[in-house]
Amino acid sequence: MQDAATPPPSDFAWNPPPAAQLACKVLQGVLNWLAIVASVACCCVAVAFWREDLGFLGIFLCVALWVLAVAVHEGGHVLGARASGMTVFHASVGRLEFKAQRRGWRVRWNRKKPQLAGLVVAFPDPRVPMRAPCMLMTVAGPAANALVGGLCALLAAALWERGGSACWLLLSFASINLPLALTNLLPTQKHAASDGLMLLRWLRARDEAAPELVFARLNGLSAVGTTADQLPPDQVALLETQPAPMPLVHLWFVLKADQNRLDWHRAAALHDVLEERVAAMPVEQQAGLEAFIAQLRCEIRFSRAMAGIPNDAELEHGLDADADWHYPTLRLRCRALTAARAGDAALARQLLEQTRASARQSVDLAMEKSEHRLCEAVLAA
């Protein structure tokens, strides 16, 4: 029985009954296996048209088609997000990662990522209703698979009498995309909610002020240029009450707000809070957030240096390729401060100009404003 003082669960945390979830997971498993068997068989037949004794190589061709189908799915999410006015920050297809820029994308190969996983990170503009944009983005991924799969099936039917490898490759791609569209629309949750579950939550939900949406609201405000010191304090405070890693995200916004106000001593004082929150997290979760934790520690060391407090380590200590990928301005700004403190004003100015140039490419408009303030502070120092 629910305690009278405990608020009812939000629609954004709603899940189907356990029996319904189990049925959907079983159906997902069956559809996935059928898709795998059908796509592999079609690819093997297609390869056999080129050379009969190498038909088994169709297995490798099938893997490539699955990756391509994941790209279709995530591309659908990206197109849906942008069509609805959302800001796309990040996308990944297998180990290939894309970071959105104001012009184009930055791309890298990440060996740590699963080979067939996909992801799109985008945030709506919270100054307008979020429901319709988020629903469009959610449904656009499965819709892209359904559209591509349907077109491939129609083309395969048109080529059926002529036969050949092209017909079987089209059938293989259709047998991947169509089940992928359906399985993603089934309301399940494993590591994250499926597209179907997210769609049902949005259909049920009416309260866009729900705590579960605070992360999206704050990042959406940041994307349109609201710096951390201008964010609603009550909304930032909500992050601290949510499960990990949200307390670390809360600390990030608080730290950036202090930096934007040039309150270096207050920012530097967050060191102990950070270490306490990191220590309270499971080791596995810490490992998955290494780059973010390194950024927080580096920003605190930067704040200590600006406050005239000695650091036990170099400003850039702990920054790796992941940190540089997610936050490319940080290392440049730290090197500029190091050069300024060493009396090399020319190098400091050069590095600060590179910092500003990098910030100007970010789709996070608040980042450009924040980096401009921090660069001016380094120059003044």
Model pLDDT for residues 310-365, shown as the tens digit of each residue: 998 899 999 999 999 999 999 999 999 999 999 999 999 999 999 999 999 999 99
Instruction: Give Cα separations from 52 to 36, 62, 165, 169, 315 (angstroms).
Output: 21, 17, 12, 16, 61
Residue 367 in tokens? 């980042």
- Please say if the pLDDT value at position 71 is more than 60: yes
Per-residue model confidence (pLDDT) at position 1: 41
For 14, how many CA atoms within 13 A lie in the half-sphere containing its CB?
19
Domain assignments of the chain as residue spans, ordered by start: 16-204, 211-380
The β-bridge partners of 108 are 97
Is the pLDDT at 55 greater than 70, yes or no? no
Closest CA to 179 of 69, 26, 32: 32
Give strand pairing partners of 272.
Answer: none
Residue 95 DSSP code: T
203-251 residue pLDDT tens: 988 788 888 899 999 999 999 999 999 999 999 999 999 998 999 999 9
Q: What is the pTM of this model?
A: 0.91
Residue 208 confidence (pLDDT): 84
pLDDT at site 268: 97
- The strand pair at 105-109 and 87-93 is best described as unpaired
C-beta separation of 28 from 186 below 8 A: yes
Measured CA to CA in angstroms, residue 269 lies from 247, 273, 297, 315, 320 at distances of: 16, 8, 12, 16, 24
Contacts of 13 (CB under 8 A, 6+ apart): 212
